[in-house]
Amino acid sequence: MENIYRKYYFLSQNQLKTIFERGKQPITSDLIGWEFIGVNIGVLTKVLGIRKFFKVFTINIEGDAVIGYNLKAQQNGLDEPHLKSLMTNNTDGYYHVSEDGSSKTLLIDYGYHQANAKFSPVRLLRDYLVEVEPDIYLGKAYLKFFSFFVPLTYFVLRKYQKRLD
């Protein structure tokens, strides 16, 4: 199987921007119940130990909203398989998913999910997601300070496995 991460990891910011702009809005129901494996693009994410991760999409207990959470991954090589972190608590950020009314993206919003600590920096994260190939998604992460959005990095997600929970 082609290493989909290599395909995107070494592209320039301008190339990623072009691909992102050509992407299509993901169908939310195609995400629900799936675990994705992901890679944050950029040298800094490797240095910070956040290059590899898992992202899970599910539905809230009331059944009326798409939510999800990230799982920490072992930070092995880009060509090595994704492995869950061995840490006891490997959940890293809960989010709500909605259509972004102003564009063709999905918004992954960490700001208001009650499972995130009130003053946790994760609450500042906002991700915008597009589908760029079947079951392959390109995201762009931002920090939101009041009404300002600071771009952080792009990331790539690949549909990995159906969740049983």
d(CA 14, CA 20): 10
pTM, two decimal places: 0.92
Helix (H, G, I), strand (E, B) or coil at 9: helix
Q: Which residue positions in the chain have pLDDT lower than 50? A: 1
Q: What is the pLDDT of residues 66-93, one digit of tens each?
A: 999 999 999 998 899 999 988 767 888 9
Q: Give the class (CATH, top level) of 4-162.
A: mainly beta
Per-residue confidence (pLDDT) for residue 45, from 0 to 100: 85
Chain mean pLDDT for the chain? 91
d(CA 162, CA 164): 7
d(CA 53, CA 46): 11
d(CA 39, CA 46): 10
Per-residue confidence (pLDDT) for residue 2, from 0 to 100: 60
Letter string b/e over residues 44-54, b meaning 16 or more CB atoms within 10 A of that residue's CB: ebeeeebbbbb
150 beta partners = 143
CA-wise closest residue to 34 among 59, 52, 65:
59
Per-residue confidence (pLDDT) for residue 1, from 0 to 100: 46
